[in-house]
Amino acid sequence: MNVAKDFKLFDQSDRMLGGVNVLLIYPPVRLTQQPLYPPFGLLSIASVLEKAGAKVEILDLNIRRLTFSELKVELAGRTFDVMGTGGMATVYYYMKLLAEYFKKEYPQVPIIAGGTACSGSPAVVAERTKFDVTVLGEGEPVIIDVIHALLNKSSLSEVPGIIYKDKSGNLIRTAERPRMANLEELPFPAYHLVDMDKYIANSNIYKIKKNKVSEARITALNLDRTKANRPIMIFSKRGCPFGCNFCYRNFGRKVVGMSVQHTLDHMAFLEKKYNTINFIFGDEIFNVDRNWVMEFCEAIISEKRNYILNVGNGLRANLVDQEMMLKMKEAGFCSVAVGIESFYEPTLKDMLKGQSTEVIAQAVKVIKSSGFHLSSAQFLFGYPSDGPESMAINVRMCKELGLKNAGFSIPCPYPGTLLYEKALKEGYLHDEEGWLMELADKDISDRIINMSGKPDKELKKLIWEAEDEIKLFFIRKDFPILGSALTILQKIGRKMNVSSFDVLKGIKDNGKNLLLHGRLPGRMLKSGSANHIHIRDEALDLLKNWESGTDLVNHRIN
């Protein structure tokens, strides 16, 4: 395949978009919870479009949570020249519905799709939806050219990194596009186009009251509590060089980073505009470049930026060392996450994690001994090598390492991953669009597919028993009387084949819902309110009517 040359983003004065109205729509994400993070992808595209002179609006359905009929009213009588939407694989269903709707109501308006749904499942988005153009990978380098071509009806064939329909309806995939070499060319994301205050208010887990390490820093340095309680996610690089088979790398294996200075400037901008000193790094792997981390920490320290810093998405265990962690601590990092996944060697091999149990355990020890709050301990359980033996090892290690908040998810093959290829090969999945529909608004914790070769019941029992055991172990240590009472409950639960913690959580969630909304939810909630779940069902119902023949395979675990 041809590879197009890289080019300067704004070095294209003949293609400026003055006077063009662009509507970007962000689909709702996690309908049973409050909106958590703004659409960073759309915000970045929007900033590029604004710089090119376009008038951009983001209709943020993640915040607004409009039903489809409300959306119709919202858009009625409005005019725009182009519509774009995008997001994760879990919003494919919604993107498809939007495309159907726009082609019916606004047949003259060209529509563009982007995001990980498109890069992971390019053929499905291009063939099975009504989008005119499907953008693959980074959107910023092509968005101006795509819109320019669509509005001037010039050829899209010269725009690399897209799939489009030609006049006869044939799908054309253009030359592959290289990754952006210089991310500093990009303006800061167009935060002003969404309700950042609402998003900031919801970033609960990084709030200081939940975190003793942040709390201690605030007290020691007498930091402004209001600012410290306004966490914002930020990115300093794109890409990950590793090859875990469950992970979708939207930006590929090449890591392209921003300079320390650019990152500091971005933080200063956010501090001023959004009154915050609390930042969460969302990079695929924050510590992929040790020198960068050290330089960044030195700069933060020497400039006396008294921030609360967090690594939200994860540190790579084999790149963790004590010196770096202590420097991070000194710079104000309080809470970090690390990719654990499993402590069982054969499972680590199965998932192509590329690191050993020993390395992961050592990283956890170093992180803890350096004084960090470990924000989560996420495991994947359900590879063919998993069973009672691997779970026993995981549980023992969690107890030894003090991993109180261990959570086990069943590996989920998102399109574009090696695990997805395996699922196809082994006959677990056969219809990519059907699978995307099944993924609609689901979390990995929804446990919708079982590729372990073990019965669903056995797999789930191993998981809830382990989670109960780990929780109880630490409760007994910290609160012996409560621990003994819960141990009795656990024994009763086991006899009845249910998790006592799940039952307690169910009572708590349902009680909360009854108090707040005066009714019980139709299904057990993870958190938040049930008010918006109907949006997903409404969208799926509408889609079924629109396009019969969508082969919905059901992989729900019984």
| Chain positions contacting ligand B12, by CB under 6 A | 29-30, 36-37, 39-42, 44-45, 84-90, 112, 114-117, 120, 135, 138-140, 143, 235, 247-248, 250, 282-284, 313, 414, 416, 441-444
- Return d(Cα 463, Cα 399) in angstroms, integer: 15
Question: Among candidates 382, 395, 368, 397, which has minimal Cα distance to 467?
Answer: 395
Binding partner of residue 235 among ligand SF4, ligand B12, none, CB under 5 to 8 Å per kind? Answer: ligand B12
Q: Which is nearer to ligand SF4, 237 or 329 (CB)?
A: 237
348 binds ligand SF4 (CB under 6 A): no
- Return d(Cα 257, Cα 463) in angstroms, integer: 38
Binding partner of residue 339 among ligand SF4, ligand B12, none, CB under 5 to 8 Å per kind? Answer: ligand SF4
Q: Which is nearer to ligand B12, 86 or 231 (CB)?
A: 86
Question: From the list 242, 333, 379, 408, which residue makes contact with ligand SF4 (rule: CB under 6 A)?
Answer: 242
Which stretch of DSSP H or E encloses residue 415?
Answer: none
Sign of the Cα pseudo-torsion (35, 39, 43, 46, in order): negative
Q: Which is nearer to ligand B12, 420 or 501 (CB)?
A: 420
Shortest spacing between CB 282 and ligand SF4, in angstroms: 11
Q: Which is nearer to ligand B12, 140 or 271 (CB)?
A: 140
Shortest spacing between CB 430 and ligand SF4, in angstroms: 26
- Return d(Cα 142, Cα 148) in angstroms, integer: 10
Locus of tokens 């196809």: 424
> With CB under 6 A as the contact rule, which of the stretches 123-131, 159-167, 239-247, 540-548 interacts with ligand SF4?
239-247
Binders of ligand SF4 in range 268-297 (CB under 6 A):
284-285
Binding partner of residue 285 among ligand SF4, ligand B12, none, CB under 5 to 8 Å per kind? Answer: ligand SF4
Question: From the list 98, 208, 244, 309, which residue makes contact with ligand SF4 (rule: CB under 6 A)?
Answer: 244
Q: Do residues 95 and 86 lie in contact, with contact meaning Cβ atoms separated by under 8 Å?
A: yes
Shortest spacing between CB 285 and ligand SF4, in angstroms: 5
Q: Which two tokens stand for residue 531?
A: 């008010």
Question: Among candidates 558, 529, 541, 400, which has minimal Cα distance to 65?
Answer: 529
Which residues are CB-neighbours of 80 under 8 A, at least 6 positions away?
Answer: 21, 22, 23, 57, 106, 109
412 binds ligand SF4 (CB under 6 A): no
Which residues are CB-neighbours of 367 under 8 A, at least 6 positions away?
Answer: 315, 320, 325, 336, 338, 374
Binding partner of residue 120 among ligand SF4, ligand B12, none, CB under 5 to 8 Å per kind? Answer: ligand B12
Sequential DSSP letters for 191-227: GGGS-HHHHHHH-GGGSGGG-HHHHHHHHHHT--HHH
Q: Which is nearer to ligand B12, 115 or 528 (CB)?
A: 115
- Return d(Cα 284, Cα 239) in angstroms, integer: 7
- Return d(Cα 441, Cα 91) in angstroms, integer: 6
Question: From the list 30, 237, 238, 316, which residue makes contact with ligand SF4 (rule: CB under 6 A)?
Answer: 316
Q: Residue 28 corresponds to which amino acid?
A: P
> With CB under 6 A as the contact rule, which of the stretches 237-245, 302-310, 436-444, 493-501 interacts with ligand SF4?
237-245
Q: Which is nearer to ligand SF4, 191 or 248 (CB)?
A: 248
- Return d(Cα 301, Cα 306) in angstroms, integer: 8
Shortest spacing between CB 409 and ligand B12, in angstroms: 7
> Could you list the residues that contact ligand SF4 (CB under 6 A)?
240, 242-244, 247, 249, 284-285, 314, 316, 339
